[in-house]
Amino acid sequence: MSTLHAAIILPFILAIGVPLLKRLPGRPHPGWAVLLGPAALFIYFLGQIPSVQAGQGIVSTIPWIPSLGIEVTVLLDGLSLLFALLISGIGALVTLYSIFYMDKKREAVHRFYTYLLLFMGAMLGVVLSDNLIVLYGFWELTSISSFLLISFWHHRERSRYGAFKSMLITVFGGLAMLAGFVLLYRMTGTFSIREIIQSTDLIKGHSLMLPTLLLVLLGAFTKSAQFPFHIWLPDAMEAPTPVSAYLHSATMVKAGLYLVARLTPVFAGQAAWFWLVSAVGLITLIFGSFKAIKQTDLKAMLAFSTISQLGLIMALLGLGSASGYFTDIQQSLFYSKATMAAIFHLLNHAVFKGALFMVVGIVDHETGTRDIRKLGGLMSIMPVTFTVALIGTFSMAGIPPFGGFLSKEMFFTAVLNAGEMGIWNMQTWSLWFPLIAWVASVFTFAYSMVLLFRTFTGKLQEQELSKRPHEAPVGMLISPVIMASLALVFGLFPGLLSYSLIEPAMASILPGLLAPGEKFQVSIQFWHGWTPEVFMTIGVIAVGILVFALSSKIKALHNPLFTRFSLNGVYDSGLRTMERSSQWITNKYMTGSVRHYLIYIFAFLIVVLGVIMFAFDGFSLDMSSYAPVTIYETAILLALIIAASAVPFANSRLLAIILTGSVGYMVTLFFVIFRAPDLALTQLIVETVSVTLFLLCFYHLPKLKKELSVLKFKLTNFLISLGVGTMVTLIALSALSAGSSHPFESISKFFLEASYKLAGGKNVVNVILVDFRGFDTMLEIVVLGIASLGIYAMIRLSLDDEQQVQLPS
Amino acid sequence: MKINDVILQTVTKIVVFIILTMAVYLFVSGHNSPGGGFIGGLVLASALVLLFLAFDTETIMNRIPLDFKMVAAVGAFIAVATGVVSLFFDVPFLSQAYSYFNLPVFGQTGLATVTIFELGVALAVVGVVVTIILSISEDV
């Protein structure tokens, strides 16, 4: 147990405590108490920066299931510290914001904070766990708490739909990821990420490498809303805005990025990893930015913007992983710039997107709508909000002097560098990387401007709004202002970040590049000369303004294109089809008719037995051990066959019962001539009783639908019965032959010898029944007793007609 | 219409004793010749069934005031109990023992604990058969 373990547990303990706050007199807003948690965590993690910078992170282990190699090992290195700071810092700001956003009188705030703290703890667990199984556990906990938070307003149909969708998609990915983790364990024999990284040699070239990689990436892509799994994120916008700001912009959606970054040392240098991560990232980037323009809802726009930015970071992580391929240290460092850009943009995105979500929340809260077509002219009414939005959107669009500009420049550098790679068919694609990046940046610029100017400039349409708009309360503004200032500070003083956070994070993503004791030299500069990146940015701004100006016309152009094919449609119809087809299949074979079920059972028996016997060449016929046939056996057998085969042709049930009885008596005769007097006696009496009971049933058949006709001939039934008979006969014959070819000594000799000696009885059958194997007999009489009690209960305890329980049909 | 089945009843009165003797014989001799608790119990039950047929159920139940569900339960209990008793003698569950005794009338006779187990089986069978037949006859 270390302080780090305590840090992970703290939110869970608070989550337990939150419902108790309800009892407090005066019912203060629980957010104030909750706020202490993330704030304390943030300060604690800030205090860890120097030691992590020096390369002395915390590693601590608590055994959980040691026999399976599952231990709660926590690890604080550069990467996890970066994420932990994001989680606790933005967590504190979001909590502060939510105190003013969530009305304690009208909302179930205690429930809200319980879920939020659960999520916070789970997220800290994800980023601080070193053990893959523990990581998976926390990962699923983030899915579950996110599900609860999205459906917080569960009386709304859209909320439930969005929660369900995100649950299905992220849990699907989570399970795939678990499978990937298990495969990693198969290859390396450990669940510890540090140990896996040390044994990458075992993984490289392993036949399970590619499936592992795909499964793990499936988990990362679904969680981080990468194409085509991004569809849950826009629907998750039904959550309260603090949740959207926290989960769906700054923390949870970055869990996938964290996973990719964390496992980069394992898979870096693999062509499949490079291509999948960077290509999916780029597709997500351009797709998200393209779709964001056409949104009219502010939150939907931000959702697609988040998708697009996550794609950007993902692509950068993919490009950065190429550095693992090169052996030359200079070349590796050259490509590792992409990773640096990824980390820097991850930080930038967290602050500006968090601020923007809060801005949207304020606008929604103060005007009653998020529809961009109804908004406008809020600039002079909400000056602080406008300023925050301006910083956020400009940073997002990549305009100097904000952080987003720097990360965008670094992104362009990375895609340009990628063209020089010259491996994995990069030559053919070298032009596409900068092109896609540039086009996506143009769209990003355009929707950022739409977001800002359509909301805050233009004419105020007061008749459209349900409330009279005014500036938000101060408490609500604190968090967005802090975040916007951070976005500005990151832009103006990037050195602050590069030494404290980015360098240690780089060291944990690309540990192979450093000699012991060495550190990455990260320097992010505003101005680096007339490089192609600068011209690209100028182009982005120029074309972006054009696109913004024409955006209404472009919208009309690509609208029908999107409505014709949408991934949501695929998801919805896929879900519907699955439900319908499973219902169809179930209806097809679960007919409710016992006759059909018997056909399945018997057909299965024939097929399985037949196939197994055939496959293992089990049929054999060896007549050497057969006893000679006498005239009595032949005669009884003939009579038996005639009686048995007459049963199906009997034209009355009475005849069928009597024929069945005669079969039973014939069997008694067999027992007699095969010298089994006890069996013969028992069979005689039991047969008599059962024929009597049959007759009883016959006598009481209902008068209404008496059937006296001959059994109808059905080919299926005929074939099935023929098959079962043939199968059983063949198996019996084969078993007999097998018994004669492998002559095991029968144990009956023992009984014959020991019956009198040990048990003092001459009737061996009886001695076996009551002495050698008395246990069976004991339970058999219990069976009889149960049967009689059952009959007694059925007859005596049947309910009257009025009391009859109505079964659902 | 009242059926006068005096012949059946008279014959039954005699035959029942023969059947009961037969049942006891099958039960006692089961260890050394065909028979035993199960068959003995069935034959004994058949004697009762004959009585039920010849007379009516109520008459017989007045003469033999037994709850046959209890008989079945007692039978099962005896069978299990013999097994449990063997545990007290430090031998496995359901171990049986036998020995020869010099009894005053019978001379040297073999007595076995198996007989008690068989008694349990026989009682259970009688109880079960009669319970089933009585319940069904009541329903009809």
Closest CB to B118 among A681, A770, A795: A770
By the 8 A CB rule, do A358 and A479 touch? yes
A559: pLDDT confidence band, cut at 50, 70 and 90? low
Please judge whether A759 and B114 are an interchain contact, meaning their C-beta atoms are less than 8 angstroms apart.
yes
Please judge whether A774 and B117 are an interchain contact, meaning their C-beta atoms are less than 8 angstroms apart.
yes
Write down the mean pLDDT value for chain B.
85
Please judge whether A792 and B73 are an interchain contact, meaning their C-beta atoms are less than 8 angstroms apart.
no
Burial A541-577 (b: 16+ CB within 10 A, else e): bebbeebbeebeebeeeeeeeeeeeeeeeebeeeeee
Please judge whether A796 and B46 are an interchain contact, meaning their C-beta atoms are less than 8 angstroms apart.
no
The answer to whether residue A527 scores a pLDDT higher than 70 is no
B2: pLDDT confidence band, cut at 50, 70 and 90? low
Alpha-carbon distance B23 to B20, whole Å? 5
Alpha-carbon distance A601 to A588, whole Å? 16
Closest CB to A778 among B36, B72, B80: B80
**Predicted pLDDT at A51:** 85
pLDDT in tens, A210-261: 888 899 999 999 999 898 888 899 888 888 889 988 988 778 889 999 999 9
The answer to whether residue B38 scores a pLDDT higher than 70 is yes
User: Is some CB atom of chain B closer than 8 A to the CB atom of A690?
Assistant: no
DSSP A466: S
Interstrand relation of A58-65 and B107-112 (parallel, antiparallel or unpaired): unpaired
User: Of residues A420 and A525, which shows the higher confidence score?
Assistant: A420
Percent of chain B whose predicted confidence (pLDDT) is above 70: 96
Nearest CA in chain A to B79: A778
Q: Which amino acid is at A261?
A: A
User: Is some CB atom of chain B closer than 8 A to the CB atom of A712?
Assistant: no
Closest CB to A788 among B72, B79, B140: B72
Of A239-248, A307-316, A522-531, the one with minimum mean pLDDT is A522-531
Please judge whether A766 and B76 are an interchain contact, meaning their C-beta atoms are less than 8 angstroms apart.
no
State the nearest Cα–Cα gap between A796 and chain B, in angstroms: 8
Nearest CA in chain B to A683: B39
**Predicted pLDDT at B57:** 81
Q: Where are the alpha helices (DSSP H) in A56-102?
A: 78-101
**Predicted pLDDT at A598:** 93
**Predicted pLDDT at A523:** 65
Percent of chain A whose predicted confidence (pLDDT) is above 90: 23
Nearest CA in chain A to B35: A678
H or E, element range at A517:
none
Please judge whether A685 and B39 are an interchain contact, meaning their C-beta atoms are less than 8 angstroms apart.
yes
Tokens 């011209």 map to which residue? A535
Mean pLDDT of A278-286: 90
**Which residues in A lie closer than 8 A to residue B75 (C-beta atoms)?**
781, 785
User: Is some CB atom of chain B closer than 8 A to the CB atom of A767?
Assistant: yes
The answer to whether residue A805 scores a pLDDT higher than 70 is no
Where on the phi/psi map is residue A65: left (φ > 0), alpha (ψ -120 to 50), or beta? beta
Please judge whether A787 and B135 are an interchain contact, meaning their C-beta atoms are less than 8 angstroms apart.
no
Nearest CA in chain B to A768: B31
User: Is some CB atom of chain B closer than 8 A to the CB atom of A682?
Assistant: yes
To test the contact with chain A by mutation, choose from B96, B100, B109, B130 the residue with the greatest count of A C-beta atoms within 10 A, namely B96
Write down the mean pLDDT value for chain A.
84
**Which residues in B lie closer than 8 A to residue A691 (C-beta atoms)?**
none
Burial A313-346 (b: 16+ CB within 10 A, else e): bbbbbbbbbbbbbbeeeeebbbbbbbbbbbbbbb
B92: pLDDT confidence band, cut at 50, 70 and 90? confident
Mean pLDDT of A621-643: 88
H or E, element range at A114:
helix A109-128
User: Is some CB atom of chain B closer than 8 A to the CB atom of A784?
Assistant: yes
Any bridge partners for residue A59, and if so which? A75
Maximum pairwise Cα distance, chain B = 65
The answer to whether residue A636 scores a pLDDT higher than 70 is yes
Q: How many CA atoms lie within 13 A of A577 on its CB side?
A: 6
Please judge whether B69 and A791 are an interchain contact, meaning their C-beta atoms are less than 8 angstroms apart.
no
Nearest Cα residue to A57 out of A128, A121, A123, A135: A128
> Alpha-carbon dihedral of residues A156, A119, A223, A92, nearest 10 degrees?
100
State the nearest Cα–Cα gap between A598 and chain B, in angstroms: 29
A500: pLDDT confidence band, cut at 50, 70 and 90? confident
Burial A233-254 (b: 16+ CB within 10 A, else e): bbbbbbbbbbbbbbbbbbbbbb
How many interface pairs between A and B have CB atoms less than 8 angstroms apart?
127
State the nearest Cα–Cα gap between A780 and chain B, in angstroms: 9
Q: Is A710 exposed, middle or buried (0-12, 13-18, 19+ CB in 10 A)?
A: exposed
**CA distance to A238, A350, A479, per residue, from A30 (Å):** 23, 25, 18
By the 8 A CB rule, do A308 and A292 touch? yes
A520: pLDDT confidence band, cut at 50, 70 and 90? low
pLDDT in tens, A76-85: 888 899 999 9
Please judge whether A774 and B73 are an interchain contact, meaning their C-beta atoms are less than 8 angstroms apart.
no
Alpha-carbon distance A395 to A351, whole Å? 10
pLDDT in tens, A284-307: 998 888 888 888 888 888 999 999
Alpha-carbon distance A572 to A575, whole Å? 5
Q: Flag whether the ipTM exceeds 0.85.
A: yes
**Predicted pLDDT at A626:** 81
Q: Which two tokens stand for residue A549?
A: 């100006």
Please judge whether B136 and A696 are an interchain contact, meaning their C-beta atoms are less than 8 angstroms apart.
yes
A808: pLDDT confidence band, cut at 50, 70 and 90? low
The answer to whether residue A412 scores a pLDDT higher than 70 is yes
User: Is some CB atom of chain B closer than 8 A to the CB atom of A697?
Assistant: no
**Predicted pLDDT at A740:** 67
User: Is some CB atom of chain B closer than 8 A to the CB atom of A689?
Assistant: yes
**Which residues in A lie closer than 8 A to residue B77 (C-beta atoms)?**
none
Count CB-CB contacts under 10 A for residue A259: 23
Mean pLDDT of A726-737: 87
Please judge whether B36 and A696 are an interchain contact, meaning their C-beta atoms are less than 8 angstroms apart.
no
Nearest CA in chain B to A680: B34
The answer to whether residue A552 scores a pLDDT higher than 70 is no
pLDDT in tens, A746-803: 788 888 888 888 877 888 888 888 888 888 988 998 999 999 989 888 888 766 655 5
SS3 content of chain B, % helix, strand, coil (to 5): 70, 10, 25
**Predicted pLDDT at A607:** 93
By the 8 A CB rule, do A437 and A522 touch? no
Alpha-carbon distance A410 to A414, whole Å? 6
A134: pLDDT confidence band, cut at 50, 70 and 90? very high
Mean pLDDT of A176-188: 91
User: Of residues A756 and A25, which shows the higher confidence score?
Assistant: A756
**Predicted pLDDT at A741:** 64
3-state secondary structure (DSSP) of residue B99: strand
Mean pLDDT of A538-562: 72
Nearest CA in chain A to B131: A788
The answer to whether residue A669 scores a pLDDT higher than 90 is yes
Alpha-carbon distance B108 to B100, whole Å? 6
User: Of residues A335 and A708, which shows the higher confidence score?
Assistant: A335
Residues with Cβ within 8 Å of residue A630, at least 6 apart in sequence = none
Cis peptide before A38 (omega within 30 of 0): no
Please judge whether A789 and B69 are an interchain contact, meaning their C-beta atoms are less than 8 angstroms apart.
yes
Please judge whether A682 and B30 are an interchain contact, meaning their C-beta atoms are less than 8 angstroms apart.
no
What's this model's pTM, rounded to 2 decimal places? 0.81
3-state secondary structure (DSSP) of residue A34: helix
The answer to whether residue A201 scores a pLDDT higher than 60 is yes
Please judge whether B110 and A787 are an interchain contact, meaning their C-beta atoms are less than 8 angstroms apart.
no
Nearest CA in chain B to A763: B32
Please judge whether B42 and A682 are an interchain contact, meaning their C-beta atoms are less than 8 angstroms apart.
yes
Please judge whether B135 and A795 are an interchain contact, meaning their C-beta atoms are less than 8 angstroms apart.
yes
- Identify the top-confidence range among A156-160, A196-200, A291-295: A156-160
